[in-house]
Structure 1
Amino acid sequence: MKRYSVQAMVLSGALALGLASSMTMAVAADDASATVARFEKFSYQGRAQENVRPRDGEFVNPILSGYYPDPSIARVGDDYYLVNSSFTNFPGLPVFHSRDLVNWTQVGNALDRPGQADFTGVRASQGIYAPDISYHDGLFYIITTCSSCPGGTGNFVITAKDPAGPWSQPVTIRGLQGIDPSLVRDGDKLYVVYNNAPEGKPRYEGHRAIWIAELDPRTLQFAGKPKVLVDGGVVPAKRPIWIEGPHIFNKDGYYYLICAEGGTADEHSEVVFRSRTITGPYVPGPVNPILTQRDLDPKRPNPVTTAGHADFVQTQNGQWWAVFLATRPYPGNFYNIGRETFMLPVDWKDGWPLMLEQGRTVPYAVTKPALPPQPAAPVPTSGNFAYVDEFDGPLSSAWIGIRIPRAPLYTVERGALVLRAGAPLGDLRGVPAFVGRRQQHHVATVSTVVDAVPRHDGDRAGLVAMQNDDNHVFLGVTRSGGKDVVALYKTEGGKETLVASRPAASGRVELVMDMDGGQASYRYRDGDVTTTLADKVDIRFLSTQKAGGFVGVVIGPYAASGSN
């Protein structure tokens, strides 16, 4: 097997491929100065810690395992489409399709090319927040927020005739402040409903309001003065926090407004209001919240927590279902894999919806919707599953990096992913040579083969498990003190520490990460010898509780030069 230098490699017949099928990225064939590394076969095997055994006719929650938060859903005929937040991961705004609400296949990413957004200097948990997907008159719409992006927080709309793309360039709604916008139509009028600061001075930390404003359907700009629909939350006297994630829909002569309330941690919930007119006044339902897990024993086995931020959809046979985010912590109330997409039926009583009675746990096994069955997706998104990417064609739309590259980072050729080095992890002004897949189970094994020879101290190539810019793990080949080694580094709070290293006999090494909740083992095979580099490493620093933010762990190939 030919060995490839981390400092220099000449690519013959560079193949134009990209982070998504619609984004082409080529490596120049005569660029002898490029820092590159070759990766063969990426393998993933995951097992849920809760060991759910569904009966015939049941599906398993979550329907999208791993870092897929803030779901929004839309139905067009017999087809369902779902989109999630993606923050500064790119390609972003993953779009899924299903016909039975259970088996989901990612059909693309709505943000898949430079120029649609700019994440320069933007941290991992900023960027694209809480999208909303809708359909009208032959066109799909996604409205979302680009938080802390250059030029300030902006709310924009993109459109497409096909949800698989291509999606349009963003249209920024001038003057629209706040986050979590969604579009709602009322006859020939178009409105945007969103979270923003209340009128006047906030009375307490987390005091927010839900606003509505009419938009011009043609220009997507304000056509009327914004108006407050909800100030604070269900019971203002109790000083509710972070009313957000609003959606409005019409049923039986009422306009229903559903919102998240309580923040995104353990106090998260979903609440409901209704009105006879779209612009209010809105009154809260007699039972609120309509979904929460905050009142349950935190020591219960296999808990589902932080449930909220829902969106509703009505099936073609009249049933109502809700998708929402929640988490599955491991012991100690930690979770590394982020917030996930769950689904429950919506029950209606006396004209009000209820997702789950208070005091009940979110079930892992649920009766399937009464819809025609659909074949399982090629790569499942729920339950226990495994897959292998042989790098024998374009990367699927599930592969993501961090921030948006302006120059080529990789190519796929001859059964290998070839990375050219980018900015080091943690450099907010640059783009690291990193492309990965979401860790979708707390119990997971990820492996790849890296073929690279360091030439200078600090050159490295291997696997990275990344929670954010300041919290990640590197396992791979590097040069240290003039010697080639296989090393394990952890970066916690922006501080890098060498955990362990061993001399490398060759540049071609198989790397394996074994995660089990808050612990992990790291091993490698160099030639015919398999070595455990470190065992039972505490990786709780990759959890949301330790690292902060809103994302989950992404694992994949990475290459960097010591000169960066």
Structure 2
Amino acid sequence: MGLSRREALGTAFAGGAAAMLSGTPARAAGTSGAPEACKARPAPDWKRGFDNQRIADLGDGRFLNPLLAGDHPDPAILKDGRDYYMTFSSFDSYPGLTIWHSRDLVNWQPRKAALSRNIGSVWAVSLEKHKGRYFLYIPVKATPNDIYVSWADHIDGPWSDPKSLGLHEHIDPCHAVAEDGSRWLFLSGGDRIRLSDDGLSTVGKVEHVYDPWRYPDDWDVESFSPEGPKIVRHGNWYYQITAVGGTAGPPTGHMVIVARSRSLHGPWENDPANPVVRTTDLSERWWSRGHASLVEAPDGSWWSVYHGFENGFWTLGRQALLDPIEWTADGWFRMKGGDLSQPIARPKGGAALPHGQPLSDDFRTLQLGAKWNFFQPGPDEAARARVENGALVLKATGKAPSDSSPLMLIAGDRAYQFECSIEIAPGGTAGLVLFYDDKLYCGLGFDETRFVTHQYGIERGRPANPYGRRLRMRVANKEHVIAIHLSGDEGRTWKRFDRGMEVSGYHHNVRGGFLMLRPGLYSAGAGEARFRDFRYRAL
């Protein structure tokens, strides 16, 4: 399969950037004179699953990254017997911290969300099991910042109400057990603090135990930002795996470094081969790779899970990637997947679960947490939504997507469309959106007399609405080019709405926030809106 339009643009950008750095003219990507490093290798197309969504498992003993498409940042993975569980930073989306389940490391299914109460923007968590009990250590950006702990006796919960640990100066905790049985939280910046025996409170003060390896000054990075420590014990060594270089910014910034110690109490020595993962060329398929964990597969092989941005698709957020590793004779490990643009032989063993889930929804049940999430919900936000006679009934609040807490889902495809039949009450406004955050979104809404066009995070044109209080709406996102169609006869005939959009800049490096551009629906104004027959399809 050849390069897509977006990949071609990304490759051309890579050539231009290299030329600007070197001071030599850039040749067009794909010409005979183009530098070899700027020729991104085509990859086979992805296999397709529910709703034609791309999936990693190629079905022939190989897989092709991303492991989980769309925004699945800061993966926290737990091996629990023959089961694997994983969760990701959920930021301002609630219910949050959806737990994913796998038996083979390649195919994953969502289960339930572990966090329902809005405690702030949830960053990189630690998911652990200790003496038969599951723990989540949850850092949040709030006022003040904090790290919480929640526990459960079953992975599906119920999870306890999050309890503050009073750690206001750190992020990215990682639970670890020392050789003497003591429990610790390793933190950003090379610090740690001891935990009580039950893991629900801290003991003593934060201490600095590790000075992370530092990259050369002439590398293009966002910032030093040592974060995301992950601790794993293998053989006679503890390994501390850390991200440095900044999470976003230059594609060559985010990277993975490693240190090891015979004791969890140190001293820690840095790997002389650091960094063990880093994007080095802008033509690579995966950018800003970091926040790595190690895990053993069912066949005894070892793998690393981390995240990265897809070349040209910052809008999809940081996607989960799977990289094979090998242990070296001198006791270090090396990543073997290269730039992850090509298929990789998958780990053997383990029963494969059907991967992912349908994003289309007939609204017979309300799948909050596993599929749908509110943005920055209030304490009683979930009470706004119910299902009734095959419809999602969503009580109106606010005046626009910016203050109505849209209901959204994660779509990991580079081109897709979604559509829904919508009926509003008198005085109501509702519609479909592509939503980054409350300051940056686009889409279309309508009341009973006029449309409202959402673009750049503001409400713009208000042309007349000939459909009244009921219509069917379709939004297509074709590699960042947006088209909207409308139907008054339940999709038998369609008319294109006279406003197109381009959204390649709706992402973190423009707006901040570490989020992704997500399909969603909203209900504002007065009364309730009814959404029926939501259909998603990757293109």
| C-alpha displacement of 1:226 | 2.7
Q: Which of 1 and 2 has higher RCO (CA within 8 Å, sep 6+)? A: 1
Decide which of 131, 134, 140 is 2:128's aligned counterpart.
134
Map residues 217-236 of structure 1 onto 2, 5 A cutoff. 217-218=197-198, 220-231=200-211, 233-234=213-214
Map residues 500-519 of structure 1 onto 2, 5 A cutoff. 501-519=463-481
Counterpart residue number, 2:373 = 400
Letter in 2 for 1:140: Y
CA contact (8 A) 1:100 1:373 kept: yes
| In structure 2, C-alpha distance between the alignment counterparts of 1:525 and 1:97, rounded to whole Å | 39
Counterpart residue number, 1:268 = 254
CA contact (8 A) 1:77 1:316 kept: no
Counterpart residue number, 1:374 = 352
Residue 63 of structure 2 corresponds to residue 99 of structure 1 = no
Structure 2: gaps spanning 5 or more residues: 1-49, 528-539
Decide which of 258, 273, 281 is 2:241's aligned counterpart.
258
| In structure 2, C-alpha distance between the alignment counterparts of 1:490 and 1:320, rounded to whole Å | 46
Residue 240 of structure 2 corresponds to residue 242 of structure 1 = no
Runs of at least 4 residues off by over 6 Å: 236-240
Letter in 2 for 1:106: P
Counterpart residue number, 1:410 = 385
Residue 394 of structure 2 corresponds to residue 419 of structure 1 = yes
CA contact (8 A) 2:186 2:193 kept: yes
| In structure 2, C-alpha distance between the alignment counterparts of 1:216 and 1:176, rounded to whole Å | 18
Counterpart residue number, 1:521 = 483
Counterpart residue number, 2:182 = 189
| In structure 2, C-alpha distance between the alignment counterparts of 1:356 and 1:388, rounded to whole Å | 36
Deviations 1:16-42 (A, max 9, x none): xxxxxxxxxxxxxxxxxxxxxxxxxxx
CA contact (8 A) 2:108 2:356 kept: no
CA contact (8 A) 1:454 1:477 kept: no
Identity of aligned residues (%): 25
| C-alpha displacement of 1:371 | 1.8
Counterpart residue number, 1:348 = 327
Structure 1: gaps spanning 5 or more residues: 1-43, 120-126, 196-208, 380-385
SS in 2 for 1:540: coil
Letter in 1 for 2:323: L
- The change in CA–CA distance for 1:491 and 1:319 in structure 2 (over 3 A counts) is same
Map residues 197-346 of structure 1 onto 2, 5 A cutoff. 209-218=189-198, 220-231=200-211, 233-234=213-214, 241-265=224-248, 266=251, 267-293=253-279, 295-296=280-281, 298-299=282-283, 303-330=285-312, 334-346=313-325
Deviations 1:30-85 (A, max 9, x none): xxxxxxxxxxxxxx95666xx99946101231121111110010111100000100
| In structure 2, C-alpha distance between the alignment counterparts of 1:82 and 1:118, rounded to whole Å | 21
Counterpart residue number, 2:416 = 444
- The change in CA–CA distance for 1:234 and 1:351 in structure 2 (over 3 A counts) is farther
Count of aligned pairs: 465
Counterpart residue number, 2:65 = 61
| C-alpha displacement of 1:137 | 1.1
Counterpart residue number, 2:164 = 172
CA contact (8 A) 1:310 1:324 kept: yes
SS in 2 for 1:63: coil
Q: Normalized per residue, which structure has more strand?
A: 1
| In structure 2, C-alpha distance between the alignment counterparts of 1:219 and 1:64, rounded to whole Å | 30
| C-alpha displacement of 1:109 | 0.7
Q: Normalized per residue, which structure has more helix?
A: 2
Counterpart residue number, 1:361 = 339
CA contact (8 A) 1:46 1:443 kept: no
Residue 506 of structure 2 corresponds to residue 542 of structure 1 = yes
Counterpart residue number, 1:3 = none
| In structure 1, C-alpha distance between the alignment counterparts of 2:494 and 2:451, rounded to whole Å | 12
Counterpart residue number, 1:70 = 74
Letter in 2 for 1:133: L
Q: TM-score, normalising length from structure 1?
A: 0.77
CA contact (8 A) 2:452 2:460 kept: no
